Amino acid sequence: MYLGVAYYPEHWDKRDWERDVRLMKEAGLNIVRLAEFAWSQIERTEGQFSFEWLDEVLDLLAKYGLKAIMCTPTAAPPPWLTHKHPSILPVDQNGVAMSPGSRRHYCPSSPIYREYAGNIVQQMANHVRDHDTVIGWQIDNEFGCSNTARCYCDNCLAAFREWLKRRYGNINALNEAWGTDFWSGIYNDWNEIPIPRKTTDPHHPGLLLDFYRFASDAVVEFQQLQVDIIKRVAPHHFVTHNMIASSQQIDYYDLTKGLDFASWDSYPKPELQPLRSEVRRVALWHDLFRGLKEKNFWLLEQRCSTSRAKGGYATPPEPGLARLWTYQAIAHGADGIVYFRWRAAKSGAEQCLGGVLSVDGRPTRAYDEIRQIGEELKILAPHLHATTVPTEAAITVSYPVQWAIALQPSLFGPGFSFHQHMSRYHRAFFDAAIPVGIVNPERELNKYKLVVAPALFLTNETILQNLYRYVEQGGILVVTARSGVKDWNNKAATSSLPGGLADLLKIRVDECDSLLDHGNEVETSIPGLSAQRYTCQTWCELLQPEGASVLARYTQGYFAGGAAITEAAYGKGRALYVGAEIAEERFYSGLIRWLAAEAGLRPLLSDPVDDVEAMRRIGSDTQLLFLLNFNLHEERTVNISTPHRSLLNDRLYASEVTLAPGGVEVLSPCQ
Ligand code: GAL
Ligand code: ZN
């Protein structure tokens, strides 16, 4: 287990360094992330490399027994480079080049930038490969942050055309795949294809989706060129990248393919009222980032101090929150946590952010909180070793599907958001204390017992085969509205909806309504939900069962009496279709609790308690139950079914655990 900080020693006087590292050591930290935006300091002018400062810092870390993660500094090309080669600057949809002077101001397709980036990475890797302190690398910083993954420059235009040539081979295959006969759009030559800069009316959805794929691939390629260099020079180092939750412009399954493990940067929002919804939001992201490689992950930035809130203003976290977020991450499978940042910045754009030390170099209360975690992890680390988060339930998420949904909002109800829709199901698992993974529908699903495939707007053969096979072999599947609508090229299915899923779900979608100026409700016979009516919002579909049985019907308008939710038996399994977006949280909780029981899933708590999150990590002979009380002001008591012992304080709990306000317990079952 690694616990550390993002450290920018290059901003501070050398005389402070040893004190810094000593304080880190005293807090129980064992890793430091270095050189993230330090290109200017390493290559002050072209070809003049200086590593003395870095060597000195690495030696100090070695002296105190800390390890280092190096960052490739490519998120911030230095002024001499953008001045010499302005063609590396990214261009927006209006065709305007971004100004240098901030960060992320580069085009990932630029051949010139790729060469310079490769060169600095090569120099750094050569330099540190034999330094025992260095154990791995973070590539770049937050690809796609501030919506920078999609560039509309001429480099990208040329690269996009090449990408399309590779994908389609000949121009008529492209015409056919996109359906370019619409609005006089048939291409005769690759050079006629535009990059989707601003248009008068909407661009072609086939071109747009492929452009999004291309842009994602360009970032993946840019990362891979760096990974290849590091793996060649320093095969004993791990490589990872700090992904973000706020931008979904890159296919993270592709981005993590070439990495040893996934990492992300977690900044729970300072304006977190109610805290419970923020806790559920962060839990979802942990589950998603773990799901990318279906294995443990790291946090390369964990907020522990004052951070930007809405509008960019600074807000401090309440005492105890940094500790709770840390344990929440570990409980969801984090094997390393790096706090952002060691010392508050004295210059630059982020002076509003706090640090573990304040700008005057004094330890803040974040330091005390982290030192407590450091102490606790000394006890927990051996137990956490080689444990993972087992899940028997999954929710599927696909990037092309999300992009296609965002591209044509008019095919959904006003305000429909894939993320929000998917989150409703995730929250239901969270509230029921059932660990869930968020996974790629293109990967094997058979190890799960319950799978929710929300709004699977596009499908391809792999996904269809996966879902059919999963149900056939006994799985329970929930598919939701707007599934099977289009093919993988973003062209409408020409068979009845839900397209390729119709034979599995045994229904036909007869009519759709985005509920613009009226509402609807459903009445259901689902056990536990049958006494009440539930409100439809943003979307409902009138279903015609073709072998499925009806679990809910509409009550209003001309949909009244028609099917809204269905269930079909298929092979040894069951396939449900929820044809409406329902507003009430208790609907999702009831549905998931019922299906989990049908699938034989055991929740971690028999009666989950509001504000308490339960998670479990398991190893070959270890079981760890995490209980986190996210109520910072009140105690919470939860029932546990068998006696457990606390690893933190050795207390024995027979059947009940009382958690202090903001309290954390890590328990192991008694033999
Ligand atoms: C992160 C970023 C850091 C810093 C931080 C401030 O997204 O990686 O460099 O900008 O936000 O909150
Ligand atoms: Zn570009």
Residue 566 lies in a domain: yes
- State whether 373 and 502 are in the same domain: no
- State whether 413 and 467 are in the same domain: yes
Residue 194 lies in a domain: no
CA of 36 to the centre of ligand 2 (A): 23
- State whether 259 and 311 are in the same domain: yes
Would you say 636 and 606 are in contact if contact means Cβ atoms under 8 Å apart?
Answer: no
Can you give the residue range of the structural domain that contains 356?
2-150+226-384
| SS3 state at 68 | strand
Residue nearest to atom 9 of ligand 1 (CA): 141
Can you tell me which atom of ligand 1 is nearest the CA of 145?
7
- State whether 251 and 287 are in the same domain: yes
CA of 107 to the centre of ligand 2 (A): 4
Binding site membership of 350 for ligand 1 (Cβ less than 6 Å): yes
Rounded Cα distance, 530 and 506, in Å: 23
Span 55-67, average pLDDT: 98
Cα dihedral 352, 356, 357, 362 sign: positive
Rounded Cα distance, 561 and 553, in Å: 5
User: DSSP states of 372-417 as a string?
Assistant: HHHHHHHHHHHHHTT-B---SEEEE--HHHHHHHHH-GGGS-TT--
Rounded Cα distance, 446 and 471, in Å: 9
Beta pairing partners, 492: 486
DSSP tag of 281: H
pLDDT bin (cut points 50, 70, 90) of residue 315 is: confident
Binding site membership of 265 for ligand 1 (Cβ less than 6 Å): yes
Question: How buried is residue 363: exposed, middle or buried, by Cβ count under 10 Å (0-12/13-18/19+)?
Answer: middle
Span 72-98, average pLDDT: 98
Binding site membership of 266 for ligand 1 (Cβ less than 6 Å): no
Residue among 29, 57, 2 nearest 300 (CA): 2
Q: Among residues 599, 622, 645, which one ends one of the domains?
A: 599
- State whether 329 and 371 are in the same domain: yes
Residue 529 has pLDDT above 80, yes or no: yes
Residue 218 lies in a domain: no
* Tally of helices (H runs) and strands (E runs) in the chain: 17, 31
Residue 26 lies in a domain: yes
Which pLDDT does position 650 carry in this prediction? 96
- State whether 422 and 536 are in the same domain: yes
- State whether 448 and 587 are in the same domain: yes
Binding site membership of 665 for ligand 1 (Cβ less than 6 Å): no
Would you say 329 and 266 are in contact if contact means Cβ atoms under 8 Å apart?
Answer: yes
Cα-Cα-Cα-Cα dihedral of 71, 142, 404, 574, to 10°? 80
- State whether 305 and 439 are in the same domain: no
Closest ligand to Cα 87: 2
pLDDT bin (cut points 50, 70, 90) of residue 560 is: very high
Residue 370 lies in a domain: yes
Rounded Cα distance, 602 and 586, in Å: 19
Binding site membership of 256 for ligand 1 (Cβ less than 6 Å): no
Binding site membership of 307 for ligand 1 (Cβ less than 6 Å): yes
Residues carrying an active site annotation: 142, 301
In this predicted model, what pLDDT tens digit does every residue of 352-372 receive, in sequence order?
889 999 999 999 999 999 999
Binding site membership of 269 for ligand 1 (Cβ less than 6 Å): no
pLDDT bin (cut points 50, 70, 90) of residue 132 is: very high
Average pLDDT of the residues of the chain:
96
pLDDT bin (cut points 50, 70, 90) of residue 314 is: confident
Rounded Cα distance, 668 and 652, in Å: 10
Which pLDDT does position 270 carry in this prediction? 64
Span 484-497, average pLDDT: 96
Number of domains in the chain: 3
Residue 140 has pLDDT above 90, yes or no: yes
CA of 330 to the centre of ligand 1 (A): 21
CA distances to 35, 281, 435 from 284, rounded to whole Å, are: 30, 5, 10
Which pLDDT does position 310 carry in this prediction? 66
Beta pairing partners, 43: 49
pTM value? 0.97
Q: Which two tokens stand for residue 419?
A: 């993320």
Would you say 331 and 626 are in contact if contact means Cβ atoms under 8 Å apart?
Answer: yes
Residue 274 has pLDDT above 90, yes or no: no
Can you tell me which atom of ligand 1 is nearest the CA of 303?
12
Closest ligand to Cα 302: 1
CA of 383 to the centre of ligand 1 (A): 31
Choice from 148, 301, 303 to test ligand 1 binding pocket (greatest atom count within 8 A of CB): 301
Residue 166 lies in a domain: no
Which pLDDT does position 271 carry in this prediction? 64
pLDDT bin (cut points 50, 70, 90) of residue 307 is: confident
Residue 174 lies in a domain: no
Span 240-249, average pLDDT: 95
- CATH number of the domain within which 378 lies: 3.20.20.80
Closest ligand to Cα 267: 1
Binding site membership of 20 for ligand 1 (Cβ less than 6 Å): no
Closest ligand to Cα 315: 1
